[in-house]
Structure 1
Amino acid sequence: MAKVLVLYYSTYGHIETMAQALAEGARSAGAEVDIKRVPETAPEDVARDNHFELDQAAPIANVEDLGNYDAIIIGTGTRFGRMSSQMAAFLDQAGGLWARGALNGKVGAAFASTASQHGGQETTLFSLITNLLHFGMTIVGLPYSFQGQMTMGEITGGTPYGATTLAGGDGSRQPSQLELDGARHQGELVARTAAKLFG
């Protein structure tokens, strides 16, 4: 049974919701799945004044945790077309894992959220994927086996590089059914790939 970690940073809950869907998909393929989040780096008064969702159910991850999994799916909201500083600060602490080759050959994947269709979904995914490649990981995206990303019937997230959602400029839009289905599909593919490599 593959061990999968869904690791995320979510300011307002959109990525938290996507993380749950990715975990569902991985579990549907028989994986043992943990969901963890990275620490908040904004001062608590700033976070509360800006209505950050601070009371999330997922436990806080430790960098050393990463070496305990066959696959790691990493998600964050975008900040000016790249990953959030909270996620970057966490991954920047993984030098010891990198030096030991602790993640070499493991499965990696990325997911993201942006305010708009053109707010940097793909560049944010690539900022995450770049880290995963430096760690020596094998990348699983969201291929067109998920036909939902071919739709012309609605505005939606979803790219071949990973599942995404659109939050809206004011954060009021929640992940759509189609976006959640894409996340589940990617989670299932990650788990199946890890099972083939490590089963």
Structure 2
Amino acid sequence: MTRVLVLYYSSYGHIEKMAEAVAVGAREAGADVDIKRVPELVPEAIIRKAGYKLNQAALIAQPAELADYDAIVIGTPTRFGNMASQMKNFLDQTGSLWTQNKLVGKVGSVFTSTGSQHGGQESTILATHVVLLHLGLMIVGLPYTFKGQMRMDEVTGASPYGASTLAGEGERQPSANELDAAAFQGRHVAETAAALLRGRA
């Protein structure tokens, strides 16, 4: 069975919800899916003052675990057009996997969240792709077969680079269309990873 890791960082729960949708889609494609999150770096006093979502059920991942999966789907909010420092800190600890080529040939994919329509969704995903490519992963995005990214009747995230959501000032939660995009991406990743495994058998 294809093993998929949905690895995320979420301050306020938006990316957490998207991660759950990605996992649903991957499971629909027959994959064995784990949802894990990266460690928090912000001091607890600031976390509580800022109102971060603390009751997240996902276990904390360890960098070495990435080698156990056939596909890794990264979820990160944007920070000035790039991934959150919590995710970058985690990925920066994968040097031993890089030197041993442990992630080469696995499937990698990315989804994100921004505060506005033009808050860096595409640049965040593309910047994260660069790290995954250095680690040897093969990138899978959100193809235009997901027609929801062509919608013009509502404000929505999603691009061919990956699923995304718009959080506003935190008050807006992922829409049905954005969750559909995440699930579609999860299915597509799982199906691609399964096809690669069959081809190597």
* TM-score, length basis structure 1: 0.98
The one-letter amino acid of 2:71's match is: A
- C-alpha RMSD over aligned residues: 0.6
Aligned equivalents of 2:45 and 2:106: distance in 1? 38
Aligned equivalents of 1:60 and 1:54: distance in 2? 13
Query: Paired residue for 1:54?
Result: 54
Aligned equivalents of 1:54 and 1:125: distance in 2? 25
Unaligned runs of 5+ residues in structure 2 are none
Deviation at 1:53, TM superposition (A): 1.0
Deviation at 1:125, TM superposition (A): 0.3
Aligned equivalents of 2:139 and 2:80: distance in 1? 23
Question: Structure 1 residue 162 and structure 2 residue 162: aligned?
Answer: yes
Aligned equivalents of 1:81 and 1:147: distance in 2? 25
Query: Paired residue for 1:194?
Result: 193
**Helix, strand or coil at the partner of 1:18:** helix
**Helix, strand or coil at the partner of 1:111:** strand
The one-letter amino acid of 1:86's match is: Q
CA-to-aligned-CA distance 1:2-39 (integer Å, 9 cap, x gap): 00000000000000000000000000000000000000
Question: Structure 1 residue 29 and structure 2 residue 29: aligned?
Answer: yes
Deviation at 1:141, TM superposition (A): 0.2
Deviation at 1:191, TM superposition (A): 0.2
Unaligned runs of 5+ residues in structure 1 are none
The one-letter amino acid of 1:5's match is: L
In percent, how many aligned pairs have the same letter? 62
- Count of aligned positions: 198
The one-letter amino acid of 1:7's match is: L
Q: How does 1:1-199 map to 2 (within 5 A)?
A: 1-168=1-168, 170-199=169-198
Runs (4 or more) in structure 1 with deviation over 6 Å come to: none
CA-to-aligned-CA distance 1:136-175 (integer Å, 9 cap, x gap): 111110010000101110010001000000001x100000
**Helix, strand or coil at the partner of 2:11:** coil
Aligned equivalents of 2:36 and 2:20: distance in 1? 10
CA-to-aligned-CA distance 1:60-89 (integer Å, 9 cap, x gap): 000001000000000111011110010010
Deviation at 1:55, TM superposition (A): 2.1
**Helix, strand or coil at the partner of 1:189:** helix
**Helix, strand or coil at the partner of 2:152:** coil
Deviation at 1:198, TM superposition (A): 1.2
Deviation at 1:128, TM superposition (A): 1.1
**Helix, strand or coil at the partner of 1:101:** coil
**Helix, strand or coil at the partner of 2:131:** helix
The one-letter amino acid of 2:178's match is: E
Aligned equivalents of 1:59 and 1:53: distance in 2? 14
* TM-score, length basis structure 2: 0.97
